Amino acid sequence: MRLSPRHAFSVWQRNATMYGRTWKFTLLPNFFEPVFYLTSIGIGVGSYLQTMGGVPYAEFLAPGLICVAAMNGVSYEVTYNVFVRMNFEKAYDAMLTTPILPDDILAGELLWALTRSTLYGSVFFLAVLLFGLTPGPFAAGALLVVPLCGLLFGAIGLTYTMLIPGIEMFSFYFTLFLTPLFLFSDVFFPIDERLSGGWLLVAEMLPLLHPVRLTRAFFRGDMGWLMLWDVVYILGVSALLLAQARRAIRKRLTT
Amino acid sequence: MNQATDEPVVRLEGVSKSFGDRTVVCGVDLVVPRGCCFGLLGPNGAGKTTTLRMIYGATAPSRGRVEVFGHDVTREPRAVRARLGMTLQEDALLEEVSPRANLRIFGRHHLLRDPELSKRVEELLDRLELRSHADLPVRALSGGFKRRLAIARSLMNRPELLVLDEPTTGLDPAVRQALWSSIRALRRSGTTILLTTHYMEEAERLCDRVAIFAEGRIVAEGSPAELIRCHLAAEALELEHDEDGGSKIPAALAMLASDPACVHALTIGSRTILYAADVAPLLARLHQSQNPDGHRAIARPANLEDVFLRLTGSSIAEQAA
């Protein structure tokens, strides 16, 4: 059975309609969150530092936080919200009474996750712009990385959500997976200056590292071949996980 | 319609469904003719809902074949569901938004667009009498309203076949009556209806044909009147005794049960039911014998519940327990 883009889009429309009712309440805090981070850590902590990675600390921090905003924006959506829609609201069971198939639901949810991550990442980018932390026009490339970051964390979160037995399993996801990623993915300090060769290879496995490195490259106008590896990692891991999520959602909804 | 009108809407052939080593549906054959109101009856856990899920293609049979509108549902679920409406047991509505918004969102799942979408939504609000509450959040509505909204939603695509999974479970009697008339109106307008219920009375009032499920199998099928005629007799005499009948059936009952007019006798707990074409002579004999055990006797027409008892040896409530 082939994916039906129009049916997948109707799933996106459902989520967009529901989100549209409350966007003011969810997007506005999301604008202030980066402002707090940039002020406290970037400017507050940063004033005790000369430079980091060769630039003022706030400027070092900004690209990574854009990716974190995209990651968080998508993660709540594809974990708690998808789990509630699937298991408590029975929304997917209702959709399956129409010509929609599980693949369409997965595609619609992923598209919506991309939309949210792009929205949240872009809002953060706007805040960074207003803080005067975008050194040059290349920085706008961050807006290309934001949906890639959404794709990656959409795929990871959807796969996890489809495989877990109960909602309490999300505490692992947020505390033991997303939090360490947030802290150890080149966001707060340059990991290549702190880690030795072997550990650097391990760090390459961390998903958040790749969008952060891409964004930083755009911010510095310092493009290189490494960016290609980052893009390949993001697309490759997303594809592998989505294949898994696809099997899992079929099993979950149609047995 | 490109199908011949006499082609059945639903055809199940040798359908079984197992989850691991648990078989939920076992070798079911079923034909639902066009224009019919067909009931699947049985206690909870008898395999009714799983059978419905196979009919609209939410789950594939482990064995056998399910055809709807002549399509193999497993291969062409989209084609089948485009022409079918399904009301789930749980309403699965969006509680935060209005009935109108619920219908609009669902219409898009059927790829309807404005102005057709709005037109259809307004039609359904009128048809299921939801207009007075069309803009309130669904969570503020009563159970009856919610169920009507769920049915309205499943009519979005003007289905030729409407499938209702326990449409009146948990609703009060007045609301049930109102829903029954909605269902009858749909049937009159030519929609084929397939419903499940564990209320035998509901099946008798609504259905042209019923299939009785017990433990994953169909144990009887026919019109309600046919089933009563074939398996029992027109009337029932219910007698209550104090202690559990079991092996020690009081003498008066044994006498009545052996009367040639009595077609069948059933004892469940403290109740014995005797069936006959006419129970008046049995009742007369009980009174003649001075009713030594002091039974309370009720004469009534035999119903589908009795058929179910006869076929499965236990009441629906007992099967469900």
State the complex-level ipTM. 0.88
Q: Read off the pLDDT of residues B114-168 as tens digits, 9 standing for 90 and up.
A: 999 999 999 999 988 899 999 999 999 998 899 999 999 999 999 999 999 999 8
User: Chain A closest CA to B174's CA: distance in Å?
Assistant: 27
Output the 3-class SS for chain A. Answer: CCCCHHHHHHHHHHHHHHHHCCHHHHHHHHHHHHHHHHHHHHHHHHHHCCCECCECHHHHHHHHHHHHHHHHHHHHHHHHHHHHHHHHCCHHHHHCCCCCCHHHHHHHHHHHHHHHHHHHHHHHHHHHHHCCCCCCHHHHHHHHHHHHHHHHHHHHHHHHHHHCCCHHHHHHHHHHHHHHHHHHCCCCCCHHHHCCHHHHHHHCCCCCHHHHHHHHHHHHCCCCCHHHHHHHHHHHHHHHHHHHHHHHHHHHHHC
Window from A77-81, A106-110, B242-246 with minimum mean pLDDT:
B242-246
Q: Read off the pLDDT of residues A38-89 as tens digits, 9 standing for 90 and up.
A: 889 888 888 888 888 888 888 899 999 999 999 998 999 999 999 999 999 9
From residue B205, give the alpha-carbon distance in Å to each of B173, B183, B225.
14, 11, 11
Examine the domain organization and report whether B255 and B116 are in the same domain.
no
Establish if A2 touches chain B: CB-CB under 8 angstroms: no
Highest mean pLDDT among A178-182, A240-244, B203-207, B266-270: A240-244
> What local confidence, expressed as pLDDT, does residue B309 receive?
82
Examine the domain organization and report whether B177 and B101 are in the same domain.
yes
User: Chain B closest CA to A147's CA: distance in Å?
Assistant: 25
Q: Is residue B267 in some structural domain?
A: yes
Write the CB contacts of B71 (distance below 8 Å, at least 6 apart in sequence).
B79, B80
What is the average pLDDT across A179-184?
Answer: 89
Banded model confidence at residue A245, pLDDT cuts 50, 70, 90: very high
> Is residue B294 a contact partner of residue B308, using CB atoms and an 8 Å limit?
no
Examine the domain organization and report whether B69 and B45 are in the same domain.
yes
> What local confidence, expressed as pLDDT, does residue B243 receive?
57
> What local confidence, expressed as pLDDT, does residue B3 receive?
47
Examine the domain organization and report whether B91 and B175 are in the same domain.
yes
Per-chain mean pLDDT for chain B: 86
Per-chain mean pLDDT for chain A: 91
What is the average pLDDT across A98-108?
Answer: 96
Size (chain B), residues: 321
CATH number at residue B266: 3.30.70.260
- Examine the pLDDT at A104 and tell me if it is beyond 90: yes
B62: chain A residues, CB-CB within 8 Å: none
Contact A98 B90 (CB under 8 A): no
Establish if A136 touches chain B: CB-CB under 8 angstroms: no
> What local confidence, expressed as pLDDT, does residue B141 receive?
93
Write the CB contacts of A87 (distance below 8 Å, at least 6 apart in sequence).
A167
Examine the domain organization and report whether B282 and B164 are in the same domain.
no
- 3-class secondary structure, B161: strand
Q: Is residue B239 in some structural domain?
A: yes
Q: Read off the pLDDT of residues B70-102 as tens digits, 9 standing for 90 and up.
A: 999 999 999 999 999 999 988 899 999 999 999
> What local confidence, expressed as pLDDT, does residue B318 receive?
54
User: Chain A closest CA to B32's CA: distance in Å?
Assistant: 19
Examine the domain organization and report whether B19 and B60 are in the same domain.
yes
Q: Is residue B145 in some structural domain?
A: yes
Contact A97 B157 (CB under 8 A): no
How many structural domains is chain B composed of? 2
Examine the domain organization and report whether B55 and B110 are in the same domain.
yes
> What local confidence, expressed as pLDDT, does residue A138 receive?
87
Examine the domain organization and report whether B111 and B206 are in the same domain.
yes
Q: Is residue B5 in some structural domain?
A: no
- Examine the pLDDT at B316 and tell me if it is beyond 70: no
Of all helices (H) and strands (E), which one includes residue B237? strand B235-240
> What local confidence, expressed as pLDDT, does residue B2 receive?
47
**B interface test, pick of A98, A253, A254 with most B CB neighbours within 10 Å:** A98
Q: Is residue B287 in some structural domain?
A: yes
Q: Pick the residue with more confidence: B272 or A232?
A: A232
Contact B105 A4 (CB under 8 A): no
> What local confidence, expressed as pLDDT, does residue B291 receive?
62
Q: Is residue B294 in some structural domain?
A: yes
Range of the domain at A159: 5-254
Examine the domain organization and report whether B17 and B165 are in the same domain.
yes
Instruction: Please give the single-letter amino acid code of residue A129.
Output: L
Banded model confidence at residue B300, pLDDT cuts 50, 70, 90: confident
Examine the domain organization and report whether B208 and B86 are in the same domain.
yes
> Distance from CA of residue B88 to its chain's centroid?
13
Contact B92 A21 (CB under 8 A): no
> What local confidence, expressed as pLDDT, does residue B5 receive?
60
Q: Is residue B270 in some structural domain?
A: yes
Range of the domain at B287: 234-301
How many structural domains is chain A composed of? 1
> What local confidence, expressed as pLDDT, does residue B319 receive?
52
- Examine the pLDDT at B69 and tell me if it is beyond 80: yes
User: Chain A closest CA to B52's CA: distance in Å?
Assistant: 11
Contact A14 B101 (CB under 8 A): no
Examine the domain organization and report whether B249 and B190 are in the same domain.
no
Banded model confidence at residue B34, pLDDT cuts 50, 70, 90: very high
Examine the domain organization and report whether B56 and B85 are in the same domain.
yes
> Is residue B160 a contact partner of residue B84, using CB atoms and an 8 Å limit?
yes
B108: chain A residues, CB-CB within 8 Å: 10, 13-14
Of B70, B26, B77, B33, nearest in space to B47 by CA: B26
Percent above pLDDT 70 for chain B: 90
